[in-house]
Structure 1
Amino acid sequence: MTIQDFYIPYVIPAAVLIVAFAIKAPAMMRYWRNPLLRAVGGLLLVAAAVFVFAYPPMIALVNDLVGITNIAAPWVYTILTVYCGSCLVLVLYWRGGDPTAMKRFIWTVVSVYAAVIVAFWVLFAFAEVPVERLRDLDTYYANTPYMREIIVLYLVAHSIACLTSGILTWNWLRRVDGLLRAGLVLMVIGYALNLVYDAAKYTAIIARWLGHNLDTFSTDVAPPVACLCAIFIAVGFILPHAGQGIQQSWEERRQYCRLRPLWLELHSVQPNAATVRLPLLRASISLKLIQRRSDIGDALLQLDAHFSNAYRDQVYAQLVRPGDTEADQRAAAAVADAAAIVAAASAARAGESARGDGMSNERRLNLDLGAISKAIQRSPVVQHARTQAMHRGIHQEAAT
């Protein structure tokens, strides 16, 4: 295969669409009965098939295998028309509404596009297309009876589907936000570029009808635009799904790292009770976060006999001021909890006798572990509590 055969505007979008389908595949397998997921998967797969079979070497292969010159043309148009119908069906599922009206409209879409596909093959049976064209069939046969009608029919069907899908998607994106909105914006751009693709094709074909040659719009402009269309639409489909997963993973990793100072404080007291028992290289960040929170909870229970509510309340009373906001009070509570935990951990390490009154279950459940961990790392009040506890432990050890 030569460099010219490796035609980038077909290979790249096909690869992107296949990757998008692979990303969606696990969700489709888990929720196969969901018609929306089936529609998304079908659309991505059909869109990839369009670029695979429109690839010039693949066109030549199909023609050779079937043994009929240009038989690949109605085949590619058929796949493209199925894609157009899938776009409309998907947007209709997304938009929702009255189930009866939606089913009736979907049935209409399927019927119309099925009739268009039948027309392709009937017209092709009467068309005279003896010269194989791999890249410029639309313009080469623009004035050929029956083939001319096929070309116009597929372009009109494509334009109507892209225009309708783009309008419906635009109306919907104004009612959502976040990653879903970003994905819909990319899809609208993709549908708009599809109309640019159609405009390039129309320009070249109409020029042929008028006796002019503007074939470059069809052979050189339209394919790269189609490549961009596919990339925008594919990324638009996968962005909400993949982006949400990345965002969740990033947040879990941030929380995992944020809890490290508290975990280390408790780990130094009871190393056997606060050891991550998961295989670190294989465990997901979600499991690691669950394990870290579990270790902290277990260690806090073991420190309960050293935890002093009176000391915690004393530190809190020193931190709050009249007129403090609710956020200020929560920050003071986290520092007070951290100071009491550090004091209890120091007492346990020094082997002091248990003199705490224990943390209530209600307080334990309402602990802001992230804020407490941050206070352990940064608050001078907590560092002062640690120093006091260490001196008290030293004096107790000297006394004994």
Structure 2
Amino acid sequence: MHDSSYYTPAIAMAIACVLKGPAVLRAWRDPLLRSVYTLIVLSGLVFFFAAPPTISWVNRTVGIPNFSAALVYCLLSAFSASCLLLLLNWRGGPPEEARRAARRWVAGYAVVIVSTMTLFVLGHAPEERQRDFDTYYADTPYIREMILLYLAALAVANVAMIVMCWRWARQVRGWLRAGLLIIAVGFLTNITFAAAKLTAIVARWNGGDLDFLSSDLAPALAAAAELICAIGFCVPMACQRVGDVWSTWATYRRLGPLWRELQPADAHGDHAVRIAWWAPAELQVTQRESDIHDGLLNLYPYFDPEVRARAHDAAVAAGSGPDRARAEADAAMVTAALGSRAADPEGRIICAATADSGPSPAPAGGPRDLVGMSVALRRSPVVATVRERAASKAGTGSPERVA
């Protein structure tokens, strides 16, 4: 790998840290957010300190040959622990159980980190090796054990992550499952990194020379594993966000028929506040819902509960379920009210309405009720029948106050 292959992901992680930093500081008590941020930081540090120019700089600064190797191994162990903590917090479950599991993993990898530094101090590695430290010192007492320890700790973490991802993936569906399977592939690739290192070391023990597996292939596998895992973590969140936006715009579009029907019923014809067309989808939906509610309020004097009841019975008789029948009944009442309003251009029914007319029979509920009404306006044969009757009444010019 070239030096840029190490620094490119390190710079990308540094940018992510800067962008995510304010959000993390505002919600530092959120264990999931802390886990994500810790993983990003450690990932960037691993690539930065594993780069050969950084290795040389650290060794010169500290004044100890190959101190950078021990530092990178400790960072790799901390990174392995952070991956496990992220998956634990991401999965959720009983908080106390998650905290106990997190404490066990942190304690275990803290022991690994302390043991790594202790073995490095006990060993003797006087000649600086920037790219082939593992194979060059494969037979050196204590240094050999240090290398095997970090590879074992890395392999254990990766196997645990694969098992956890696989078990969780069997319980979920959709983008989350896809993300978990991608993450599992990433950690499987990381195991091949450890396997390549170990193969080169064993070859050294037996007098062979497969150093290229450790110095060339293993770093490339580590970079690929990092990229695959990052994609796996991003896929569920990014696709969920896209899906939410798509769903919001779908709601906006499905509210269109009801919104257009009620525009003539708006007594003012416009609103004091209008949002720009480029505003977020959530605001667009809120504005459209507000317009619909205003239109329903203006139609209140023309609402006829009997029309609603008859339409509900007709929808049930036609095989509609409870929710759909209610939506068709509400839409039929609105359609009849619009017809009555069109047949009363002078507004005599509105003038005759009194303050004690009783509570508004306007359809209750949130956006889902409005969406059901809007869909029924366009598709329900029950509403179509009421529309024809309302049109004939409007043609005779005989308004009825149906309140």
User: Please, which of 342, 345, 353 is the counterpart of residue 348 of structure 2?
Assistant: 353
Superposed, which structure 2 residues align to 1:72-83 within 5 Å?
Answer: 72-83=68-79
Q: CA deviation at 1:259?
A: 0.7
Cα-to-partner distance string for 1:21-76 (whole Å, 9 max, x where unaligned): 67865664443223343233212321222122223444344445556554432222
Distance (whole Å) between structure 2 residues aligned to residue 58 and residue 285 of structure 1: 47
Match in the other structure for 2:246: 250
Q: Check 1:75–1:104 CA distance in 2 against 1; reply closer, same or farther (3 A cut).
A: closer
Distance (whole Å) between structure 2 residues aligned to residue 272 and residue 12 of structure 1: 58
Match in the other structure for 1:40: 36
Superposed, which structure 2 residues align to 1:160-179 within 5 Å?
Answer: 160-179=156-175
Matched AA of 2:245: S
8 Å contact from structure 1 (residues 265, 345) kept in 2: no
Match in the other structure for 2:107: 108
Match in the other structure for 1:187: 183
8 Å contact from structure 2 (residues 328, 376) kept in 1: no
Q: Check 1:90–1:208 CA distance in 2 against 1; reply closer, same or farther (3 A cut).
A: same
Match in the other structure for 2:294: 298
Task: Find out whether 1:329 has 2:330 as its counterpart.
Answer: no
Distance (whole Å) between structure 2 residues aligned to residue 16 and residue 38 of structure 1: 18
Distance (whole Å) between structure 1 residues aligned to residue 86 and residue 22 of structure 2: 19
Matched AA of 1:253: W
Q: Check 1:220–1:325 CA distance in 2 against 1; reply closer, same or farther (3 A cut).
A: same
Superposed, which structure 2 residues align to 1:204-353 within 5 Å?
Answer: 204-270=200-266, 272=268, 275=271, 277-280=273-276, 283-316=279-312, 320-321=316-317, 325-326=321-322, 329-330=325-326, 332-333=328-329, 335-344=331-340, 346-347=342-343, 350-353=345-348
Q: CA deviation at 1:129?
A: 1.6
Distance (whole Å) between structure 2 residues aligned to residue 287 and residue 369 of structure 1: 16
8 Å contact from structure 1 (residues 276, 292) kept in 2: no
Cα-to-partner distance string for 1:322-353 (whole Å, 9 max, x where unaligned): 766546634643552453354255346x4453
Q: Check 1:26–1:90 CA distance in 2 against 1; reply closer, same or farther (3 A cut).
A: same
Task: Find out whether 1:375 has 2:373 as its counterpart.
Answer: no
Match in the other structure for 1:148: 144
Q: Check 1:199–1:305 CA distance in 2 against 1; reply closer, same or farther (3 A cut).
A: same
8 Å contact from structure 1 (residues 273, 299) kept in 2: no
Deviates most, 205-214 or 336-345: 336-345
Distance (whole Å) between structure 2 residues aligned to residue 43 and residue 234 of structure 1: 10
Q: CA deviation at 1:312?
A: 4.0
Match in the other structure for 1:53: 49
The structure, 1 or 2, with the larger RCO (C-alpha pairs under 8 Å, 6+ apart) is: 1
Distance (whole Å) between structure 2 residues aligned to residue 395 and residue 101 of structure 1: 77
Match in the other structure for 1:6: 4
Q: CA deviation at 1:253?
A: 1.7
Q: CA deviation at 1:279?
A: 3.4
8 Å contact from structure 1 (residues 256, 288) kept in 2: yes
Task: Find out whether 1:202 has 2:201 as its counterpart.
Answer: no
Q: Secondary structure at the match of 1:139?
A: helix
Distance (whole Å) between structure 2 residues aligned to residue 320 and residue 377 of structure 1: 18
User: Please, which of 126, 129, 132 is the counterpart of residue 128 of structure 1?
Assistant: 126
TM-score, L = length of structure 1 = 0.79
Q: Check 1:354–1:285 CA distance in 2 against 1; reply closer, same or farther (3 A cut).
A: same
Cα-to-partner distance string for 1:156-183 (whole Å, 9 max, x where unaligned): 2211222233334434444455544443
8 Å contact from structure 1 (residues 17, 230) kept in 2: no
Q: Check 1:278–1:95 CA distance in 2 against 1; reply closer, same or farther (3 A cut).
A: same
Aligned residues with identical type, % of pairs: 35
8 Å contact from structure 2 (residues 257, 375) kept in 1: yes
Distance (whole Å) between structure 2 residues aligned to residue 30 and residue 73 of structure 1: 35
